[in-house]
Amino acid sequence: MGKRLDGASLLVIGGTLLFLSVISTFFVFVSGFDWDPDDYSAAYWQAEIPKRQWTLAAGLAVPGLCALAAGLSMFALPRRPVRIIAGGLVAVLALGLFAVSWVLGFEAVDSARYWAVRQAGGFPR
């Protein structure tokens, strides 16, 4: 049998996921960055909406799992003050990245929706 996950292992997993959360938040930011949106058709923007939604979902899953692992490490037995403080810090940082990814991701999806409607002739130029 394998080794059981203890609080220290969960904290290491949370720390690793925190690093990956920074990368996933960057990908969410990049997915919403539009270069010359007028150059693309409405069909391009309609196809872009699900891509950005999947990027948002993945970008939210990583910091969410990070906060979960850090939270579980805080309550794992035996309780150690250093691990509780470190787990709380990792959880707070992960929730901050979750909020940033949330805002950036929904802004990216809304931007694609806006350009899809505008290029289809829904908004005046």
Cα torsion at 63, 64, 69, 73 (round to 10°)? 100
Q: Is residue 53 part of a domain?
A: yes
pLDDT of the chain along its 125 residues, tens only? 567 789 999 999 999 999 999 999 999 999 998 888 889 999 999 999 999 999 999 999 999 999 999 999 999 988 899 999 999 999 999 999 999 999 999 999 999 999 999 888 876 55
Q: What is the pLDDT of residue 2?
A: 61
Q: Is residue 97 part of a domain?
A: yes
Q: What is the pLDDT of residue 109?
A: 96
Domain range for 94 is 7-32+41-119
Q: Is residue 82 part of a domain?
A: yes
Q: Is residue 125 part of a domain?
A: no
Q: What is the pLDDT of residue 107?
A: 96
Q: What is the pLDDT of residue 61?
A: 97
Q: What is the pLDDT of residue 58?
A: 96
Residue 92 DSSP class: H
Number of domains in the chain: 1
Q: What is the pLDDT of residue 122?
A: 73
Q: What is the pLDDT of residue 123?
A: 64
Cβ-based neighbours of 76, under 8 Å, separated by 6 or more = 6, 7, 10, 83
Q: What is the pLDDT of residue 125?
A: 56
Cα torsion at 11, 23, 100, 52 (round to 10°)? -130
Q: What is the pLDDT of residue 124?
A: 58
**What is the Cα–Cα distance from 32 to 119, expressed in whole angstroms?**
17
